[in-house]
Amino acid sequence: FGIVLAKHVFPPAMAWLLAKIPEESGASMPRKAQIHLLVMLTSLVGFAAIGDQIGSHLLGAFVAGMCFTNVPLSHHIWTAQLKRILKWFIRIFFAATVGFAVPVGPMLTANAFLRGLAIGAVPGIFAKLVSGIPARMAYKNPEQRRLSAA
């Protein structure tokens, strides 16, 4: 269904719609770009809602994005207008999905702290000590001493 929309429905429909809008000059964001972005956002929300009813809102958002792959300037308009807030949306999305799924309670116990110390600090200190042993070696050749200091 999404492939049919992306290849045969959205490109001609968007070309027809954008051809009806008169050209503007001097605007920071022309009316065509505004309408284009509005149609993209509306499709995103609509397909995500339909996908949610089917079982995956992410699949709906993916299909909405696929519908605009063959529409000229879609990627440019999307990135130009949503670049600033997209960084924040990605952070919020990560925190809401992955960040909130991490169980914080079990991580704050003494047992978890000691295990983390054993896994992280002990090998780290041991590696520093072992790697420092060659630095204390007495070199007979002055060239070797100079290279070991580097």
Give the Cα separation of 99 and 97 in Å (integer).
6
Q: What is the pLDDT of residue 30?
A: 85
What is residue 129's predicted lDDT score, i.e. its pLDDT? 80
User: Domain check: are 20 and 78 in the same one?
Assistant: yes
In terms of pLDDT, which residue wins out, 3 or 134?
Answer: 3
Query: Dmax of the chain from CA atoms?
Result: 86
Q: Domain containing 141: what range?
A: 104-149
**pLDDT score of 2:** 75
Domain shared by 137 and 76, yes or no: no
Residue 139 and residue 97 share a domain = no
Domain count across the chain: 2
- Is the distance from CB of 17 to CB of 72 less than 8 angstroms? no
Residues 110 and 92 occupy one common structural domain = no
Q: What is the pLDDT of residue 111?
A: 92
The answer on pLDDT for 145 being more than 70 is no
Alpha carbon distance 52, 57 (integer Å): 4
Checking if the pLDDT of 148 tops 60, the result is no
Q: Same domain, yes or no, for 17 and 71?
A: yes
Contact 68, 43 (CB under 8 A): yes
Task: State pLDDT tens for residues 36-83.
Answer: 999 999 999 999 999 999 988 989 999 999 999 888 889 899 888 888
Please check whether residue 77 is in contact with residue 65, taking contact to mean a CB–CB distance below 8 angstroms: no
**CA atoms 3, 47, 73, 87: torsion sign:** negative
> 7 and 72, same structural domain?
yes
Shared domain for 30 and 54, answered yes or no, is yes
Domain identity same for 97 and 26:
yes
What's the distance, Cα to Cα, between the start and end of the chain in Å? Answer: 64
Between residues 5 and 53, which one has the greater pLDDT?
53
Main-chain dihedrals φ then ψ at residue 141, nearest 5 degrees: -85, 130
Is the domain of 90 the same as that of 111? Answer: no
Q: What is the pLDDT of residues 20-36, one digit of tens each?
A: 988 877 777 888 889 99
Residues 56 and 42: their CA atoms lie apart, in Å, by 18
Please tell me the predicted confidence (pLDDT) of residue 121: 87
Enter the pTM of the model: 0.58
